[in-house]
Amino acid sequence: MAKKTVRDMAVEGKRVLVRVDFNVPLDMKTGVITDDSRIRAALPTIRYLVEHKAKVILCSHLGRPDGKVVEKLQMQPVAQRLSQLMNLPVATVPDCIGDAAEKAVNALKDGDILLLENIRFHAEEKANAPAFAQALAKLADIYVDDAFGTAHRAHASTVGVTRYLPAVAGFLMEKELEALGSILTNPEHPFAALLGGAKVSDKISLIQNILEKVDLILIGGGMAATFLKAQGYEVGASLVEADKQTLAYELAETAKRNRASLLLPTDVVVASNITAEATGEVVPIANIPPSKYIVDIGPETIELFSQQIRGCRTVFWNGPMGVYEIPQFAQGTKAMVELLAGLKATTIVGGGSTAEIVEEMNLSYRMTHVSTGGGASLTFLEGKTLPGVAVLLDKK
């Protein structure tokens, strides 16, 4: 069901509470933001509200303060960066509810921007406590959710406030739902899913939900070890989810019945340990040494995956192909990013570490869509309802 957006609301002169996802990575020694992509992703909604003379009240979490005030996780650096990007002043306040917050909101003029303090300084946020949600809602006339990355959480600032305010989607939320929804409802074929990451268990529901929709599934990363083991290969010292082997085998068989190809690596990079000093060795999957770990896909697999993906019209990618944090084990992942960046196809990148890799390589602009939500994008593509989306007003 399509959701109402900020376009559907009369916002001039209104106090508009916007849930944004400003959970940006910080250098904890200097307090410097190392990647501002989540701030930039929210700019269209904020600019729209400013231009339409709303009083803009932003709220977000930052890090994991666990319900306590943590000085290094205060929102001041985020406000400064947002001010630079907007070329407008952004006010801050030492709390997100209560007298100080109410006074700061009352001082706002049309078109002004206020960033509330980290909402997770209050344990009641994650608990979705009604009194906390009501205190947040008291600050505003309208609620806008533009934080897709937190939409899979039923927190006070994503679900609770909607009991007290009319709630609509921001432009980023709208964009995420349209982009991810398109590959579930109307993908252009051939449609490939490129999946990596550490665990099969993280992707089982996703694979099950898209098996009937895809033409091709390509498996890399640590999760490939469980699939290879299920096919009878020895995978050395690599992590295998023993309780998922049977399911991995069944998923491969189901793919065959659905006339979808499920491709596993044909060669891999292995190493004696997973450290920055380790050296890798390329071996066929039939010759993985018993004491070594799979740390990346090999060159033959890179070529195989590339040949298959080049013929696709839609590609969804989530999860690195190897231990990306260690440069010598990042070649498979980088090759896939470069491949997708050069495709004349719809390319959708799941959030989390996958999005961070694309941003780090400065190739996000070459993708059709890079999601800002890791867990949220997976939950959505698993076919599950996102609590933060379900509570927004429907178009009809």
Please list the active-site residues.
38, 199, 352, 375
H or E segment and range at residue 38:
helix 37-41
Give φ, ψ of 51 to 5 degrees. Answer: -65, -30
H or E segment and range at residue 52:
none
**CA dist 197 → 44, 134, 350 (Å):** 31, 39, 12
Q: Strands 267-271 and 293-297: what pairing?
A: antiparallel
How many CB atoms are closer than 10 A to CB 365?
Answer: 9
Residue 172 Ramachandran class (φ > 0 left, ψ -120 to 50 alpha, else beta): alpha
Sheet of 55-59: strand order equals: 91-92, 113-115, 55-59, 15-19, 142-145, 167-169
Give φ, ψ of 37 to 5 degrees. Answer: -60, -35
Question: Which SS3 state, helix, strand or coil, does residue 244 take?
Answer: helix
Tell me the C-alpha distance between 126 and 235, whole Å.
40
Tell me the C-alpha distance between 132 and 139, whole Å.
12
Burial call 270-299: b when 16+ CB within 10 Å, e when fewer: bbeeeeeebebeebebeebeeebbbbbbbe
The set of residues, in sequence order, having a beta carbon less than 8 Å from that of 87 and lying 6+ positions away, is none
Residue 43 Ramachandran class (φ > 0 left, ψ -120 to 50 alpha, else beta): alpha
The set of residues, in sequence order, having a beta carbon less than 8 Å from that of 88 and lying 6+ positions away, is 50, 113
